[in-house]
Structure 1
Amino acid sequence: MRPYLLLTRRSFQILLTLWALVLAGEASAQEIEICYNFSCKTRQTVTLSQTEWHSIIGWFYPGATSAAGEREQLRRAIGWMEVVMGRHTPTHRDKGLNLEKNPKFPGQLDCIDESLNITTYMHLFESQGHLRWHHVMDRAYRSGGFDAHWAGQLQEVATGERFVIDSWFQDNGMLPYIARSAEWEDLTEARIVLFSGAD
């Protein structure tokens, strides 16, 4: 065989190997921007390892066989995402409900922080094909009840029904609350805190 053909083939193999390494590197470096310290006062970009990211998206496998099943998968993925993000940020200190702002203990999230972070997570899951039964929507807002409040929101593809996903009521890493948007608008704080399941 002619030497220049061997060189060409060898060069091609090297290029393929380098391309595979580039793709693997992209898969292992999942960058996510989150915010905390009330009204997104602090913004931080976190780079998750491939192992960390797989531990989060693993909640979506095997794929859900219903919209309700996917909401439960999403609930668990977001709860675990908060745990993983808390390893890289002071958000592991976050306690449910709003506490007094304390600069000595950064990492607390209000409903603005929580809803923006959840929406970021859901957009990421959707863009990578992990959500098949839902579309991510703009955040939900309500002004009635105990206070003005924000939450993440998604829409079921088949029915068009909207659901909120809200982790403000729980400590970091606890499973967030999910309910139909219409029901969420009428809920009291106590009922949400006591809620433990997903529709």
Structure 2
Amino acid sequence: MRWFGLYGVFLLALSGCAGNQPVINPGSFIAQYGLTPPAPDAFIYCSDHDCLNKTSISLSGREWQGIISPLKGGAGTAAKEREALAVSVGNFERVVAKRAGTSADRARTGMRNSQQLDCIDESLNTTVFLMMISAEGLLDFHDLEGTAGRGGAFDWPHFSSTIRERKTDMTYAVDSWFRDSGQRADIIPLSQWKAGWNPPDFK
């Protein structure tokens, strides 16, 4: 993140833990960072912490169809749709990272550089992708919910996009921050994620 971005996160944490903040509406979240409503042929991809670096991307129809292929044809169940979504988020990141020069992005935040993404970048990019697939009606069992936070004054704040399952009303974090560029996202029940969930191999 930029230093003033970090300062803003700390103020958020101190004024009330990030984990206690309401979910941020997708449109409002991307607008805070100067992003406009996305479409596959015209959207912004964020990197360099706190979306300091913005890359304009235009995907071809063939590229877009390859990215969303796991979601085409209907998943059959909500659980299978989450599996397909996790793969599709990874597909999106892998294809777009080649254009944005961020294929070297490694799991978690790491040192700031133009190729690295922090959790704000990851949340913005995932939100952009979820907004696009939602607009195309590719989710049969879920709706895009928004951006959730966790952590606070004594725990480093972390953020993630979320989806809500229509039938159960259960919310899930869609988190691509824990993995290297292009790997499948982790989709975890939000209550579990807010409680401090990390992958088993997290160090």
TM-score, structure 2 length as denominator?
0.76
Map of 1:69-108 to 2, 5 A cutoff?
A: 69-102=80-113, 106-108=114-116
Partner of 2:177: 168
Deviations 1:45-103 (A, max 9, x none): 2001111011011111221111111111110000010110012111211110111124x
8 Å contact kept, 1:140–1:152: yes
Map of 1:1-199 to 2, 5 A cutoff?
A: 30-102=41-113, 106-144=114-152, 146-189=155-198, 191=200, 193=202
Q: Distance in 2 between matches of 1:52 and 1:178?
A: 24
Q: 1:191 corresponds to which letter in structure 2?
A: P
Q: 1:96 corresponds to which letter in structure 2?
A: A
Over the aligned positions, Cα root-mean-square deviation in angstroms equals 1.9
Q: Offset at 1:155?
A: 0.3
Identity %: 31
In the alignment, structure 2 segments of 5+ residues that lack a partner are 1-39
Q: Offset at 1:130?
A: 0.5
Question: Which is bigger in relative contact order (C-alpha 8 A, separation at least 6)?
Answer: 2
Q: Distance in 1 between matches of 2:61 and 2:170?
A: 34
Q: What SS class does the counterpart of residue 42 from structure 2 fall into?
A: strand
8 Å contact kept, 1:146–1:188: no
Q: Cα–Cα, structure 1 residues 62 and 115, in superposed 2: closer, same or farther, change >3 Å? A: same
8 Å contact kept, 1:134–1:156: yes
Q: What SS class does the counterpart of residue 40 from structure 1 fall into?
A: coil
Q: Distance in 2 between matches of 1:90 and 1:124?
A: 22
Q: Distance in 1 between matches of 2:197 and 2:68?
A: 32
Write out the 4+ residue segments of structure 1 that deviate beyond 6 Å after TM superposition: none
Q: Offset at 1:190?
A: 5.3
Q: Distance in 1 between matches of 2:86 and 2:52?
A: 26
Highest CA radius of gyration, 1 or 2? 1
